[in-house]
């Protein structure tokens, strides 16, 4: 367990460090181009762990102890004592367009990073799960719409869904507008293509939190693996108990076993505990007593009997896909994905603000760290894809019209453009206090949701 936590933490710090560095570099690069003197470029907050001063422009580059943010400190007469010879390099002395360009450059850098990450991953190919439906919840919108297990989702409202992750995003996007049914093209298990309607007018897929797709009645397909013994490992509990290849497990301690997963779930918590199995061997029912051997996995003791199944490899081939495009097509797809994810994020935020989506949907650093570790463990393609999604979220968050964020500064600049004079320091001070309360409340809610999910 500790190794998983450490792995997630490392993946999280690397991803967040990259996102913060790119964001702040956007501010830094444009500030230098418009002639503003940069005093400090910091990745992280708090105590400095590493510092280097540039011999070119005197900028102090710092890596700080708390990896939850960063900043670019620029020369500014409102907070610094500025010599007459350097007044022309102060942020507040620059024209409105230059100051606005510096502020918007941070989020823009994150959008560019997301686009490049999507472009790269679409060229090298990203592994995934085919968009095959599993069991459809009774009386759900999916059931009413006529969706069946093993339907392959081809498109949602005209958006192609080559993988299950693509289908999730498209269905979530469709779920944000319940005024009209979503048109979903599917290929049935018999190979027939047809279009079905998914009516969500009476369903609030985001209101109660949880998995929105489950609220629609969808689940992804998972192969049914028979509880059939494939290989019996020597020196294991199964070999000692007399289990043989080809035995089909019918029950464990009188409880029916329908699948290989049922068998695994019966064995795992039963280390050093005798289990009574009933198996089918060549048409005859045979009773077998077996005691799972204890082994430790990630700090947890589980039971293992020393058998494997030989069916899943062929079955899972049905669900495995790789989505890959040539260079030019990948570029177009990356632009489209960046736009789609940006608009989806904005619409989700709108639903949260208006109360049409549950605040349970907000995730904090703990959840993001878990996602980082999971994506990194799957492969570099999924980790890059994760970085792209978080980069877009960071860009959109920073553009919110909240004081202390880039979007708040842009609001001040918009007021200045209309009134022809800067917003007063008193108003900005009040705005900072409001922004601090809003951001503090948001962070508290995110941490609360993270901790609640851990206990759940």
Catalytic residues: 24
3-state secondary structure of 74: strand
Helical H segments across 196-281, by residue range: 212-216, 237-241, 260-267
Please give the structure tokens belonging to residue 1.
Answer: 């367990």
Cβ-based neighbour number of residue 160 at 10 Å: 16
Contacts of 444 (CB under 8 A, 6+ apart): none
Burial of 4 (0-12, 13-18, 19+ CB in 10 A): middle
What CA–CA distances, in Å, run from 359 to 231, 376, 405?
48, 27, 21
Burial of 334 (0-12, 13-18, 19+ CB in 10 A): buried
Residue 191 — left, alpha, or beta (φ > 0 → left; ψ -120 to 50 → alpha)?
left
Please give the structure tokens belonging to residue 339.
Answer: 């736009």
Task: For tokens 């019918």, name the residue.
Answer: 250
Give the E-state strand segments of 90-181 in sequence order: 126-129, 152-156, 159-160
Q: Crossing angle of helices 327-353/96-124, nearest 10°?
A: 120
Shortest CA distance to 18 belongs to which of 391, 314, 274, 382? 391
Write the DSSP string, 83-116: -GGGGGGSGGGS-HHHHHHHHHHHHHHHHHHHHH
Burial of 234 (0-12, 13-18, 19+ CB in 10 A): exposed
Shortest CA distance to 3 belongs to which of 268, 452, 373, 375? 373
Give the E-state strand segments of 314-450 in sequence order: 320-323
3-state secondary structure of 308: strand
């Amino acid at each position: 367990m500790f190794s998983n936590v450490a792995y997630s933490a490392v993946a999280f710090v690397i991803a967040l460090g990259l996102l913060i560095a790119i964001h702040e570099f956007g501010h830094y690069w444009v500030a230098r181009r418009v002639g503003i003197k940069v005093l400090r470029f910091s990745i992280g907050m708090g105590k400095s762990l590493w510092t280097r001063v540039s011999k070119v422009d005197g900028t102090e580059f710092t890596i700080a102890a708390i990896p939850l943010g960063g900043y670019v400190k620029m020369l500014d007469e409102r907070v610094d004592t500025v010599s007459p010879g350097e007044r022309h390099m102060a942020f507040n002395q620059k024209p409105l367009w230059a100051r606005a360009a510096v502020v918007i450059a941070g989020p823009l850098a994150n959008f560019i990073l997301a686009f490049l990450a999507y472009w790269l991953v679409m060229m090298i190919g990203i592994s995934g799960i085919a968009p095959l439906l599993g069991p459809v919840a009774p009386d759900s919108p999916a059931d009413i719409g006529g969706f069946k297990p093993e339907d392959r989702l081809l498109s949602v409202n005209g958006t192609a869904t080559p993988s299950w992750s693509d289908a999730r995003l498209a269905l979530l996007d469709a779920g944000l507008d319940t005024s009209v049914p979503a048109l979903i093209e599917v290929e049935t298990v018999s190979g027939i293509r047809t279009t079905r309607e998914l009516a969500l007018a009476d369903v609030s897929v985001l209101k109660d939190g949880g998995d929105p797709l489950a609220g629609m009645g969808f689940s992804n397909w998972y192969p049914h693996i028979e509880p059939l013994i494939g290989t019996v490992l020597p020196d294991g509990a199964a070999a000692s108990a007399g289990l043989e290849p080809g035995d089909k497990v019918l029950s464990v301690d009188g409880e029916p076993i329908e699948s290989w997963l049922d068998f695994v779930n019966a064995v795992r918590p039963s280390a050093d505990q005798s289990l009574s199995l009933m198996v089918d061997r060549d048409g005859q029912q045979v009773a077998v007593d077996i005691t799972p051997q204890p082994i430790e996995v990630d700090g947890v003791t589980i039971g293992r009997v020393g058998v494997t199944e030989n069916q899943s490899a062929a079955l899972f081939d049905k669900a495995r896909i790789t989505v890959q495009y040539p260079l030019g097509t990948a570029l177009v797809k990356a632009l489209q994905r960046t736009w789609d994810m940006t608009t989806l994020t904005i619409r989700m935020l709108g639903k949260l603000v208006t109360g049409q989506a549950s605040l349970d949907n907000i995730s904090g650093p703990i959840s993001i760290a878990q996602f980082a570790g999971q994506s990194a463990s799957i492969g570099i393609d999924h980790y890059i894809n994760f970085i792209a999604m978080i980069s877009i979220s960071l860009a959109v968050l920073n553009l919110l019209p909240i004081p202390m964020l880039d979007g708040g500064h842009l609001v001040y600049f918009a007021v200045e453009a209309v009134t022809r004079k800067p917003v007063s320091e008193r108003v900005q001070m009040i705005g900072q206090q409001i922004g601090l309360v809003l951001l503090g409340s948001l962070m508290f809610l995110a941490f609360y949701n993270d901790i609640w999910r851990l206990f759940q």
